[in-house]
Structure 1
Amino acid sequence: MKSIKKRLAINFIFIVVITVVTLEIFLINIVKENYYKNLEESLNNQIRLSADLYSRYFSDATLHENILNNVDTFWKQTKAQVEILDKSGMILMDSIGVISPNPVNTEDVVKAINGEKGTWIGKVEYDEHKVMAISYPLKSGENIVGVLRFITSLREVNQDIKTIALIFIGFGGIVILISSLVAVLLANTIIGPLKSVTESAEKMALGDFKTKSIKKYDDEIGKLSDTLNYMAQEIMKKDALKNDFISSVSHELRTPLTSIKGWAITLKHSYDDREILSDGLDIIETESDRLTNMVEELLDFSKFVSGKITLEKEDLNINNIMDHIRKQLTPRATRDNINFKVIVEDNMPITCSDGNRLKQVFINVLDNAFKFTPSGGNVVLTASYEDNNFVFNIKDTGCGIAEEDLPKVKEKFYKGKTSQSQSGIGLSICDEIIKLMDGTFEIRSELNRGTEIIISVPFEECV
């Protein structure tokens, strides 16, 4: 496995090296240009002074006469090599005795012959280093009679530039070295917390959710640490809910099974007593229905968790569904002395949906409403069609739901403190069914004032 620390350090160092090298190349070029520019300006001043001297005091004589009689005047103005050339570029005089049989046609000489100052940097045969040459026209009145040329070696200048460049390179090397150490330290500040988070995650992966990831910095890694701790807390809560769910289901299953077994034993010995036989069979039938309902609820829940649940859609008349719910639950409401009303808007459109699943939602929600509404209370189911949506409102005058429990009642396995639910998954299943229908399932409640559930399902036309 490649180390992130190593990659980070290398990337940091690479950026520093590129930055330092680029900066040094830029600085060395600036130093070189400044040195060359200063040397050029110095030679310019010297050659212009000599050329002006010639124009003022020696222009009356010919160029050859001046070379014979006044040549010392030109090289006294400078330490550079001095050449005098005619208008064709032939060297007439050289202060160090370099005479070429061929005319000089370098850029500086050509410009001077044309009346302009010229500068040239290049190689000459008699010097192993590059030279800088400055050429200036010699005038007699308005006429150009020749060219004055100053030549100096760049050896000393290049040596100074080289010395400064070495200083820059040495300083750059120190900067890179220090930056490399800093890069390693910076990498440690990132890898350290990340390593701590990884170790915590590994412990959590082994099932130790009590371990905490220590947050060192308030950054992305710190946020990851907070998220990991939150995830562990949520897993522990879900695990606790699951255990409570298993315990609750075990208890709920044991109760009817105990009744069934007890009455089966009783009936085995009292089969000739018709009254006891009738009572026993009624209880066995009731408890069997309870077991069937719990098992069906658990099977539904399992399908939703595994994502295997599907909707059996068909043309559905909502008015008929509401009428069926009213007929099915009215006897129970009468038995529990609860005023149960179903108010439905007339002639609602035919939609495409799963009628059985929709009944399951209403029966489950209304079952809770009856369960938590005391004798003499009210339970009202209304259905209407608004803005291309079917809106169902179930309102009761029961005990309500505590404010702290309200956000959690649709969670899987959750059972409130006052809940009489058998498994804690009924509302969760209802919520999943409505989501499958692309609808919304909203719960509003106030403790000791009642609960209101608003279900919205969009209209869908069957193809």
Structure 2
Amino acid sequence: MKNKIGNRLVRSFLIVILITISIIDIFLLIGFRFYYYNTISNELSSRMNLSLEIYRRDYSDRSLKDLIYDDSEIFFSNTKAKVQILDDEGKVLLDSIGSLNTNQVETEDFKAAKEGNRKTWRGLDPVTGEPIMAITGQITNSSGQNIGYLRFVSSMNEANIAIIKTIVTLLLLTLIVALVTTIFSFLISRSIVRPILELTDVAKKMLKGNYEEKAKVWEDDEIGELAKTLNAMSEEIINKDRIKNDFISSVSHELRTPLTSIKGWAVVLKDAKEDESDLIEDGLNIIENETDRLAKMVEELLDFSRYISGRITLDKDVFDISQTCREVAKQMRPRAKSNKIEFTTEIPEESILINADENRIKQLLINLLDNAIKFTSDNGWVKFQMYKEDENVTMMISDNGMGMTKEELAHVKEKFYKGKHSKSHSGIGLSISDEITKLHGGFLEIFSEEKIGTTVTVILPVNEIEEGEKND
């Protein structure tokens, strides 16, 4: 694998450290160079001041010629620098090391001295070619007359050697730091990359279907949070897979039951005699009922398939939802009566127009009422209420049935989820009901307590209806 994170981390650390050290080295070199050169300059300037002060104090009545032949040692003592005495044209009249250059001195320090200023100059010695630093000052007698120039010249070899040694030392230090940085960068990158590699390995195992594999949480940081998320995802996949398997098992069982009944009665009817009319009628009724039940389950499965693929569509039109609720209540009342359940309704008589898919709303209400009746014991009650409030229509179905636990309530609207009770079937009714509600721009809420009862509330917006639609 190219451009591994570990290699990129090492390179990044190394680049940052080398750039930082290089910047520090440059500033240190500039500082050392300034220090060495400034020290030489200050030393030459101090020696120049001292020599000229001695001349002004004790020898300012002497001529330049007398100084050269008799008292020149006042300028040479206590200094390692080369001392020169120049005339007004820059010609060397005296040199402390005895080397007289026939060329005139025309350096910046001499030019500045002629103008009464002091300035150090760096350059190459015209005779030896070595790097030097020079400073020149005026020699003024007691009458205030400028009789010549005093020039101090110092070799820069020692300073340059010291600077080169400093450069070599800094380069060695940089190499050592780079080596140490590389080692520590590898260790640090390994500590970062190792958990990522383990997470990748766990993810690959999960990709192959091994969702039981769990990622190790190394630290409570971003990578640790990623590991926790991966573990939570695997647990959720396991849970969803279990729910899906339960769903398939439940649907298979639900489909098998009416098919078994149909086949069984078909065999009975095949052997029935012509005078057994009651048996034939009972068998045909059972086959019809079981076929209807089978068709209903198949339709639910088709709706559920459309739901999970996002292909449920609405055929909206304006209708009286009060009338629709009364029709659904009338349809479900015999079912409640046969289960010995008291079924009451509170539905307003006035018309409440709503722009929605009437068939889907009926399917929603039948699912909810069917659940309420199914999970309510004999002699229990189911209440169906509907009312308009502001711009919304609220439909509420309550019962005093077995209710649900908090765990069941948290998952009851999820696809594939099937309750623990034996009366739970495919587990897709509430999922479809919730999807129908959302498609209409409303929301479905469920309140339930175990062994107390359940209340399902559906709130749908009353969409703005044009006058022409009302008349229709």
Same fold per TM (> 0.5)? yes
The answer to whether the 8 A contact 2:93-2:100 is kept is no
Matches within 5 A, 1:322-341: 322-341=325-344
SS of structure 2 residue aligned to 1:163: helix
Question: Which residue in the other structure is 1:280 paired with?
Answer: 283
Q: CA deviation at 1:90?
A: 5.2
C-alpha RMSD of matched pairs (Å): 2.6
The alignment of Structure 1 onto Structure 2 pairs a total of residues equal to 462
SS of structure 1 residue aligned to 2:218: coil
Question: Which residue in the other structure is 2:264 paired with?
Answer: 262
Matches within 5 A, 1:22-33: 22-33=23-34
Question: Which residue in the other structure is 2:470 paired with?
Answer: none
Q: Are 2:430 and 1:436 equivalent residues in the alignment? A: no
Distance in 2 between residues matched to 1:461 and 1:452, nearest whole Å: 28
Residues 1-52 of structure 1: CA deviation (Å, up to 9, x unaligned) = 2133222222222222222222222222222222222222222221221122
The answer to whether the 8 A contact 1:437-1:457 is kept is yes
Say which of 165, 188, 194 aligns to 2:167.
165
Distance in 2 between residues matched to 1:413 and 1:339, nearest whole Å: 31
Q: 1:337 to 1:85 in 2, by over 3 A?
A: farther
TM-score normalised by length of structure 2 = 0.89
TM-score normalised by length of structure 1 = 0.91
Q: 1:43 to 1:285 in 2, by over 3 A?
A: same
Question: Which residue in the other structure is 2:113 paired with?
Answer: 112
Q: 1:105 to 1:24 in 2, by over 3 A?
A: closer
Q: CA deviation at 1:356?
A: 2.2
Matches within 5 A, 1:312-323: 312-323=315-326
Q: CA deviation at 1:258?
A: 0.9
Distance in 2 between residues matched to 1:347 and 1:90, nearest whole Å: 126
Question: Which residue in the other structure is 1:47 paired with?
Answer: 48
Q: Are 2:418 and 1:420 equivalent residues in the alignment? A: no
SS of structure 2 residue aligned to 1:404: helix
Q: CA deviation at 1:63?
A: 4.3
Matches within 5 A, 1:238-317: 238-270=240-272, 272=274, 273-317=276-320
SS of structure 2 residue aligned to 1:26: helix
Distance in 1 between residues matched to 2:318 and 2:346, nearest whole Å: 22
Q: Which runs of 5+ in 2 are unaligned?
A: 467-472
Residues 72-124 of structure 1: CA deviation (Å, up to 9, x unaligned) = 21121421122334566555444343435445241x33443333331222333
Question: Which residue in the other structure is 2:378 paired with?
Answer: 375
Deviates more, 1:229-238 or 1:59-68: 59-68
The answer to whether the 8 A contact 2:323-2:351 is kept is no
Q: 1:328 to 1:161 in 2, by over 3 A?
A: same
Distance in 1 between residues matched to 2:55 and 2:331, nearest whole Å: 128
The answer to whether the 8 A contact 2:107-2:121 is kept is no
Distance in 2 between residues matched to 1:315 and 1:87, nearest whole Å: 116
Distance in 2 between residues matched to 1:113 and 1:343, nearest whole Å: 118
Question: Which residue in the other structure is 2:13 paired with?
Answer: 12
Distance in 1 between residues matched to 2:38 and 2:166, nearest whole Å: 16
Distance in 2 between residues matched to 1:358 and 1:275, nearest whole Å: 39
Q: 1:148 to 1:365 in 2, by over 3 A?
A: farther
Question: Which residue in the other structure is 2:80 paired with?
Answer: 79
- AA aligned opposite 1:452: T
Q: 1:264 to 1:36 in 2, by over 3 A?
A: same
Q: 1:415 to 1:49 in 2, by over 3 A?
A: same
Q: Which runs of 5+ in 1 are unaligned?
A: none
Q: 1:44 to 1:329 in 2, by over 3 A?
A: same
Question: Which residue in the other structure is 1:126 paired with?
Answer: 127
The answer to whether the 8 A contact 1:91-1:99 is kept is yes
Distance in 2 between residues matched to 1:139 and 1:380, nearest whole Å: 123
The answer to whether the 8 A contact 1:342-1:381 is kept is yes
Distance in 1 between residues matched to 2:87 and 2:363, nearest whole Å: 115
Distance in 2 between residues matched to 1:403 and 1:143, nearest whole Å: 110
Distance in 2 between residues matched to 1:137 and 1:379, nearest whole Å: 120
The answer to whether the 8 A contact 1:117-1:137 is kept is no
The answer to whether the 8 A contact 1:113-1:144 is kept is no
Distance in 2 between residues matched to 1:355 and 1:214, nearest whole Å: 53
Residues 427-451 of structure 1: CA deviation (Å, up to 9, x unaligned) = 1122222233333222111111111
SS of structure 1 residue aligned to 2:124: strand
Q: CA deviation at 1:260?
A: 0.7
Deviates more, 1:314-323 or 1:389-398: 314-323
Residues 155-198 of structure 1: CA deviation (Å, up to 9, x unaligned) = 11111121122122112211111211111122221222222222
